[in-house]
Every structure is written in structure tokens, then in C-alpha cells.
Amino acid sequence: MRRRIFLLLTSIILFALPPVCIAQANKKLEYGILVDSTGSMRSQFGIVNVLTKALVHQVHDHGPISIFSFDSSGMGPGSRAVAVARIEHTQDEGLLNRTIDGLYVQGGQTTLLDAIEFMDERLRAQAGATDRIIILITDGEDRVSTEKQQELVRKLKDDKMSVYAIGLVRELGGGKR
């Protein structure tokens, strides 16, 4: 069963991303990939890492990639999971894969919108790229971001940032669907 899910998800990535890459073949691209490493992704984290590696394999020849994930900030019920850059601006697939292998699930409340805003700032700081693309591998859960959705959308549009999401959704709390 797990192998079928892996093959399905890998196929989706391999078939969905080439048009994005080909359509922008003459542009200098910069990619930011957010690997959601928060507790809500714990049961799917193996799949998340496999998807991230497949994505890196697909796009690393088209431009530099930065990998982002979450770190715990504080302990206990009020702790937050905040975005951090794990590696920035490289096309070295081996180095990117080692970075992905070093990721693990972190505690804290998810700050997804804040993470996207952080990635936007970091990618804009890189010189040379004409197009920047943020790819999110997440369940989409956001618990305590300070960034407001409408404000973030406006910033991303102003920065001409493209955002794609690979949504891995399972019902929280382990209930049946």
C-alpha cells in the first residue's frame, strides 16, 4: 500500500512539474521548497521527504534551490514552529538530498503564513534570478501566524512570486473519513 502511494505521488510530481520548468526554460529560476516538519505531518513525514527528493531531482538543473523547514521556538503549549533556511541557493542534488535526510519532525504550533513570508524575503535577497518559485509540501495547517493572508497574497503578487502547494491532507485526530 505504501509503495503504491509513493509511486502515485512521485508520478504526480514528475508529470506536473515539467510544464512549469519547460515554460520557463529561458528564464533564470530560483526555487524555495518548504518541507512542513511540524507535528501534524508526523505520520506522513517519510512521504514528505520522498516527495521533496523527487521534486529536487526534477528541478535542480533549472535553477538554485533553497530548502526551508520548521524549528521549535520554546517549549510547552505556547511554543511555535518557525521557518528556518536549511540550505540556500544550490543546485547540488547530493547536498540537497543530504539536507532533506537531516530533517526531522519539530514541535510547536505551525506558522505557515509566516514561513511563506520568510521564504519570500530570503528568495528576493538572492541576486540573479528573474523568476522565483515557492513550493510548499504541507498539510496546509496554520495555527499561530502573525502574517495575515490577504496581506501576504498582496506581497507575493507585488514580488511576482509564484507559489505552488503539494497538499498532503489526512484528517487530524486520527478519525476515519
pLDDT at 5 over 60: no
Cβ atoms < 10 Å from Cβ of 68: 24
Q: Which pLDDT score, from 0 to 100, does residue 177 have?
A: 39
Contact 116, 144 (CB under 8 A): no
Residues contacting residue 62 through CB under 8 Å, at least 6 positions apart: 21, 24, 25, 29, 31
Count CB neighbours of 38 within 10 A. Answer: 26
Provide the grid cell at 92.
547540488
- What letter would DSSP give residue 74? S
- Residue 14 pLDDT exceeds 90: no
Condensed to tens digits (0 to 9), the pLDDT of residues 104-144 reads 999 999 999 999 999 999 999 987 777 999 999 999 999 89
Alpha carbon 78 to its chain's center:
24
Q: 129 by DSSP, 3-state: which?
A: coil
CA pair distance 106, 99, nearest whole angstrom: 15
Lowest-pLDDT choice from 68-72, 106-110, 163-167, 173-177: 173-177
Report angle CA 132, 138, 95 to the nearest 5 degrees.
Answer: 60
Domains of the chain: 28-174 (3.40.50.410)
Predicted confidence band at 95 (pLDDT cuts at 50, 70, 90)? very high
Phi, psi torsion values for 86, nearest 5 degrees? -90, -35
